[in-house]
Structure 1
Amino acid sequence: MTYPLIVILIVVFIIIFYNLNNRIQRLEREISELNRKIQTPGFTQIKEEQHVQPVVSSIKEEQKITAFEESKVTEEAPVIPEKDWLTPIFDFLKQNALTIIGIFTLVLGIGYFVKYAIDRNWIGETARVGIGLLVGGAIMLTGHFLRKNYTVFSSIITGGGIAVLYFTTTIAFREYQLFSQNIAFVITCLITLISIALSYYYKSEVLIIFSLFGGFLAPLMISTGQSNYPFLFTYLTVLNIGMLIIVFLKNWKSVGWVAFLFTNIYLFYWTAEKTELLSIYFYIITYIIFYAFALQNYIKKGILPSYDILMLVLTNFTSIIGLVYIFNTLQYEPVIVFPIGFALVNLFLLFKEYSKKNFGVNYSVFAGISISLITVAIALQFKTHLITSVWAIEATLLLFIWKKTNLNIFKICFYILFPLVIIAQIMTWAKYVDAKNLAIIFNPVFLTSFVTVITTFTNLILLRKLPDTNKKNTDFFENVFTIVSYGIIYVALLLEIMYHISDKTWIVIFSIAMLYSLYYIFCILLFRRKLDIHSILETGLLYLFLLLIIFNTLISGSGIISNFLMGKLHLSFYGMHLLYWIPFIYILVKILPKSDFFTIVLSYWVVALAFITAVSAELYHIYLIINANGISEVAKLGKHFRILYLPIIWAVLASILIYRGLKTNTTEYTKIGFVLIAFMILKLYTYDVWEMDNVSRIVAFIILGIILLLSSFLFQRLKNIIKNMVENKEENNETENTKS
């Protein structure tokens, strides 16, 4: 039943194809007849007479509009928008998706047919290879006949034929052993040369991409598992030189990028699997080839398009990673010879631009690359970790070029590379766990972190100075980048501090970490204007600072006092702990009044909570230092402080808050003061009174009563003063109105 059904389907397909072909031919004849009529003199004259007046008037109108638009363009001088590099790719895929799927399906169908014939023993091994070669040649011949009218279609068809030839040669060598590896390699080289020649002859960039894919995959197809890297890279070098010649002749940039990708994959694999000195020569040759590729437009036209700049950056830094890795693994010195050598190449080009007094994009690119390479050399000389340092500097270079050119491709590359920098830096920080006896500051881990810190801070400055980056126009990714950047700087310095105090007790480590955190946030807030900190980030940092104040006083202070009373810490450490009051007071007095922090009502309560907690806790700690003779007395003294002194402290603080609220006309402070008094009275009458002895109860009530009376008197006096001020102001306004 299967074979008749297949025959029927084939017949139906032929009939449908025949009918469609006849309709297309009829349509082509009608179009050609219409074109012939249009080109006749009489027809043209009639049409011209009918449309001459409207056309003339429309031309005049268009000229007026064009003149107006040109004058407007001259006045406004708009920036030419950057071309979307993805659009041509999507257009190509939309127009040729069916062709690509079709040739892929055809190749698969031929493969399944050959497999079916092999399973049935219809053909032998030699015949199978012959069929594959004939089919590949037939497909390429079909593409050849279609090339005049269907250029892209014929290129894809021809590429499919080349793929059939490659796979046939691979199967003949690997599965059937019909010829040796050398013959198989010669055949694949011939296929590559033929395909490149056809690409050049047909002037088809699509076809040469197919050819390059086959050329770079050919060594894998005929590989026997033995690593003959010198032979492999000699072949790749010849292939890349051919690529370079074609690029200079045809300016097909995509060909160079395909070659760059495959070459670096092979190079890095060789370097990782078998690190040897010989690979250095191939790294240098590859660097020269792709540097010449990147400078093609610069040599011909004196310009550097965006993708050429990106190739310059990638060529320099991928070569450095491989070369320095080889030197470090084989323990050769000095490792800086390669970044310095590459820097000299770029400095030569920089000097060329400087001598021409051309300080445009080219000058900025060569200057940025040169400075970055010299920075890499310095970092590597101090034994920093290779990948982290190179990626961090490369990310900054991409951001610098983005700033100079305003091309989004460098913005995209920067945002892709920067997360990799973070991952590499986290892996570098992990070295602290197993590291022994690292020197202070001058150790590989911290020096690597220092490079990342400097580059990250540079990124923040560059990002702030970009034309489309300001407080009113800061997008989500830039806000996230800012937060992450300050986080990297914070963690880098914190881990170095904690490593060198890791032998101390937990409370010392925690207290120093908290003090460092508070001062770090304080420094950011202190220079918030110069750092161009966004108002949202500033508010978040203020909230974080106040919450850390609460945790610091409750945990660090109590822990330090406990260890002091147990004889484990000196009293001077508590004095160091109190240094957090310097930034705390400065923020309360200088920064908070000038910020947007109090746009939220909750902010008043957070500030008051932090201030009340800090004052109460530190007075409690001082009370213990003065009165306690050992850790055993803390419970008793703590209870006495909470019952007798804490209500007095809260009453004083409540009075201060009420006074502050009345003076600044801030109702929230007044509310907080009264809430604190209410809470204190509730605590006094529900708990404290029943825990006191008679003398303490009398003293507490007397002192508390006096404080409440004074607070009430102060409140009434301020209320009258404010009332009189308001009345005097109204009278003055009425007097002025009367005079006027």
Structure 2
Amino acid sequence: MDFKKIQKRLDELEAEIVSLKKEIFTYSKNQTDLEPKEAASTTFVSPSPTLETLPKKRSPEWELFLGGNFLGKLGLFSILLASVWFIKYAFDNRWVNESGRILIGLSIGFGVCITGLQLARKKFRILPESVLGTGFSIVYLSLFSGYYYYDLFSLSETFLYLSLLSIFSSGLAYWIRKEILYIFALIGSILSPVLISQGENSYQFLFGYLVFLNILLFLISRKIPWIVSSFFLLIANFALYHFWAIKNINQSGFIVPFSFINITYLLFAYGKVFFFPKLLQKNENSGGIFPQWNWIFYPIFLVLNSLSFGLMGYMQIEETYPKLSSHFILFGAILFSLWILISRKKSDFFYPSQLEIFEMIHLYLLLGFTFAALLNFSEGNWLTFAWIIFAGVISLLSSKFENTHLRYVSAGFWILALFKLYFFNPMDDVNRLFLLNERFALYVLSSLFLFGTYYIQKNKDSFWFHRGFIYMGIFTFILGTLIDVYHTVHNEHYRNLGYSYVLAFYAAVFLFIGFKYSFRSLRIAGFIVTAVLVGKFYFYDIWTMSKIVRIIAGFTLGTGFILVSLFYQKFKDKIINYQNTSGLLLLFLAIFASLFASPLNAEKIDTKGYRYYKEIQIPKLSNPTGSEEGEKLFYGRIKLDEDIVRHSGINDRRIVYNDRTIPFISRNVMGAYEEGEKK
């Protein structure tokens, strides 16, 4: 709903009302000037009461509801209840036989109907439809009782009588313009085949009868914009088909139920495209239920009709021709695209706001059905690839044509596609060449689509939501690289080093591009990646380093980022205008200086800083871990002698092998000064 257009229309109407008041005032003044001067004093103030006359205060709505509506219906219900009790009393006392009972019921029902018609002729506003509905209900019950309890009518006769009664009541509802009466008739029409059914699978008759009811409503909809009854019949179609399909779908043919699904959908859709919007423009009293809510009912009905069509059709084809189920979903998507094209050619049938709502709903349905069809057409990596392509194309088109609603929808598709890429990628356990594999290609493809979506609209719209595309693209690109490092590098130390190199590389690239080309989003991303790199150092890497390396790394990182801060503060004007980029070299030096704090440097040690050094010989142990022979991983226990214990504290000891520190756990036990122990 375009509220701006509605507000504009209201402003125009208000301006017209003001203009009409001015014309009335001018006309009254001119007429006064033509009067004799003696009457001038009496007519001078005549326009004022005309303009300031207040309308009569209406009686409260609750009073009208209670007095004119609720009490009347309560009285009718009381009469109906008393009639049932009287008839039951007469039946219990055998005052009348079986045929007489049915005739009495029919007479009472038709008598109530005639009373309702008389009330309608006398222009009563509320009671007629209630009285007529009560009368037709009595007639329905009488006919059904004659068939079910007393066997006075055959099955075919009963169905004929009920059908004729439904047609008559529908025609009467159309004649007096009362939708509530038509709903009463519709209830009887729908219950007729259900009540007289004996459990047989007469699906040809059932669906043929339902098609007849839908055609009848379609003919009425050409003249009157009734939508509540359309809701009722749509739900009845779906419910009856669903309950039939539970027991009989495997025992029945395909053509009849599938034709019913398509015919009912097309009747509803055609009526709501070509008739309903145009009838609403006439603003005639149609006798509909809650006509002021039609602007809400209309889009909801379009969605429910399409979803009902999709669910019933998919259920029917899945049970009969399962290989064609995805083709049916694609057929639905094509059908929705045709409705969009038809609505644009027939735009004179709609208000501008109605046309926009109609196109938007069917566009969303088109995208949803296409996305679901891809789920059936492909699987595995191809499904991930298809979803990425689909979401990418939608987001690019939304940016190209500046369609904000479509961009929000594409964000939903992106969430599904990226969720599958991140967590359900079947290639995660496959060894491939680093960065030259299908897994990384999917991450790159996703990032390129997200970057393109943002780049197209970055100068058109500055809304924060749209910047989420570039941030998600950056995250996807970095995550894809880190995952490739994880699956390509098998050594834990080199893998940890690779993570640091990847983060440092992307931080440098993003900051360089952000400063060089005035790309604020990339600058922010660069700083976030740098912060992650620093956090990795302080909360993970630093605990594996020696004291000397910790000191060097701390001074290096601290100095580097202080220089970056000074660079921003001193050259902020030049950074904004990007007239001087010589300071970028200093920025890169500060970032890459942080690599001195990498996990590999922490493994090397310079023994010159230690005062006591002793070589320890240990016997070669067997490999209990089952690892490969080339890795030579051993676990053992080393007992410390008195010299080592005397010259070192428990936190100052290092075990060095081939100029690299070896992780260990140190523990003091009883008699540690005599025979120390180290694990």
With the shorter chain as reference, the TM-score category is 0.5 to 0.7
Matched, 1:278 2:255: yes
Q: What is the CA-CA distance between 1:157 and the residue it aligns to?
A: 1.8
Name 2:208's counterpart in structure 1. 234
Q: What is the CA-CA distance between 1:394 and the residue it aligns to?
A: 4.0
Name 2:659's counterpart in structure 1. none
Q: What is the CA-CA distance between 1:652 and the residue it aligns to?
A: 2.5
| Partner Cα separation in structure 1 for residue 552 and residue 148 of structure 2 | 93
Cα distance change, pair 415–281 in 1 and its aligned pair in 2 (3 A): closer
Cα distance change, pair 204–103 in 1 and its aligned pair in 2 (3 A): same
Name 1:529's counterpart in structure 2. 458
| Partner Cα separation in structure 1 for residue 67 and residue 238 of structure 2 | 28
Cα distance change, pair 494–225 in 1 and its aligned pair in 2 (3 A): same
SS of residue in 2 equivalent to 1:527: helix
SS of residue in 2 equivalent to 1:499: coil
SS of residue in 2 equivalent to 1:501: coil
| Partner Cα separation in structure 2 for residue 446 and residue 271 of structure 1 | 36
Matched, 1:155 2:129: yes
| Partner Cα separation in structure 2 for residue 615 and residue 99 of structure 1 | 74
Q: What is the CA-CA distance between 1:586 and the residue it aligns to?
A: 5.7
| Partner Cα separation in structure 2 for residue 224 and residue 101 of structure 1 | 40
Deviation string, structure 1 residues 168-205 (Cα, Å, up to 9, x no partner):
43455455655443333122113213323434554655
| Partner Cα separation in structure 1 for residue 387 and residue 82 of structure 2 | 55
Name 2:562's counterpart in structure 1. 654
| Partner Cα separation in structure 1 for residue 477 and residue 225 of structure 2 | 62
| Partner Cα separation in structure 2 for residue 592 and residue 488 of structure 1 | 30
Q: What is the CA-CA distance between 1:663 and the residue it aligns to?
A: 1.2
Q: What is the CA-CA distance between 1:662 and the residue it aligns to?
A: 0.8
> After the TM superposition, which residues 551-570 of structure 1 pair with which residues of structure 2 at under 5 Å, given as runs?
563-565=490-492
> After the TM superposition, which residues 103-122 of structure 1 pair with which residues of structure 2 at under 5 Å, given as runs?
103=73, 106-107=76-77, 110-111=80-81, 114=84, 118=88, 122=92
| Partner Cα separation in structure 2 for residue 451 and residue 585 of structure 1 | 31
2:417 to 492, 503, 507: 492
Q: What is the CA-CA distance between 1:658 and the residue it aligns to?
A: 1.0
| Partner Cα separation in structure 2 for residue 409 and residue 220 of structure 1 | 38
Q: So what's the TM-score if we normalise by structure 2?
A: 0.54
Name 2:321's counterpart in structure 1. 331
Q: What is the CA-CA distance between 1:228 and the residue it aligns to?
A: 1.4
> After the TM superposition, which residues 398-437 of structure 1 pair with which residues of structure 2 at under 5 Å, given as runs?
407-409=352-354
Cα distance change, pair 425–109 in 1 and its aligned pair in 2 (3 A): farther
User: Which structure's relative contact order is higher, taking Cα pairs within 8 Å and 6+ residues apart?
Assistant: 2
Deviation string, structure 1 residues 246-300 (Cα, Å, up to 9, x no partner):
555x4455498368625742674356651632324444554675577467659x9
Name 1:99's counterpart in structure 2. 69
Cα distance change, pair 187–424 in 1 and its aligned pair in 2 (3 A): same
Cα distance change, pair 294–484 in 1 and its aligned pair in 2 (3 A): closer
Name 2:108's counterpart in structure 1. 135
Name 1:732's counterpart in structure 2. none
Amino acid at match of 2:254: L
| Partner Cα separation in structure 1 for residue 399 and residue 159 of structure 2 | 52
Matched, 1:265 2:238: yes
Q: So what's the TM-score if we normalise by structure 1?
A: 0.51
Contact 2:299 2:357 survives alignment (8 Å): no
Q: Percent identity?
A: 18
Amino acid at match of 1:106: L
SS of residue in 2 equivalent to 1:503: coil
SS of residue in 2 equivalent to 1:196: helix
Q: What is the CA-CA distance between 1:207 and the residue it aligns to?
A: 3.3
**RMSD across aligned C-alpha pairs, in angstroms?**
6.5
Deviation string, structure 1 residues 441-494 (Cα, Å, up to 9, x no partner):
2x5x865775566556656666x35xxx7xxxxxxxx5xx74563242243255
Contact 1:199 1:207 survives alignment (8 Å): yes
Cα distance change, pair 616–391 in 1 and its aligned pair in 2 (3 A): same
Amino acid at match of 2:567: Y
Please list every run of 5 or more consecutive structure 2 residues that lacks an aligned counterpart in the other structure. Answer: 1-37, 52-60, 284-294, 576-582, 612-679
Cα distance change, pair 320–422 in 1 and its aligned pair in 2 (3 A): closer
Q: What is the CA-CA distance between 1:211 and the residue it aligns to?
A: 2.5
Cα distance change, pair 609–418 in 1 and its aligned pair in 2 (3 A): same
Q: Which has the higher helix share?
A: 1
SS of residue in 2 equivalent to 1:182: helix
Please list every run of 5 or more consecutive structure 1 residues that lacks an aligned counterpart in the other structure. Answer: 1-48, 63-90, 336-379, 470-477, 625-633, 698-740
Matched, 1:223 2:208: no
Q: What is the CA-CA distance between 1:111 and the residue it aligns to?
A: 4.0
> After the TM superposition, which residues 315-714 of structure 1 pair with which residues of structure 2 at under 5 Å, given as runs?
322=312, 326-327=316-317, 329-331=319-321, 383=326, 387=329, 390=332, 394=336, 407-409=352-354, 438=379, 440-441=381-382, 447=386, 454=393, 458=397, 464-465=402-403, 482-483=407-408, 485-492=410-417, 495=420, 498-504=424-430, 522-529=451-458, 532-538=460-466, 563-565=490-492, 580=506, 584-585=510-511, 588-589=514-515, 608=527, 610-611=529-530, 613-614=532-533, 641-664=549-572, 695=609
Deviation string, structure 1 residues 624-655 (Cα, Å, up to 9, x no partner):
9xxxxxxxxx9766766433334224312321
Cα distance change, pair 579–226 in 1 and its aligned pair in 2 (3 A): farther
Name 1:189's counterpart in structure 2. 163
Q: What is the CA-CA distance between 1:611 and the residue it aligns to?
A: 2.5
Q: What is the CA-CA distance between 1:321 and the residue it aligns to?
A: 6.4
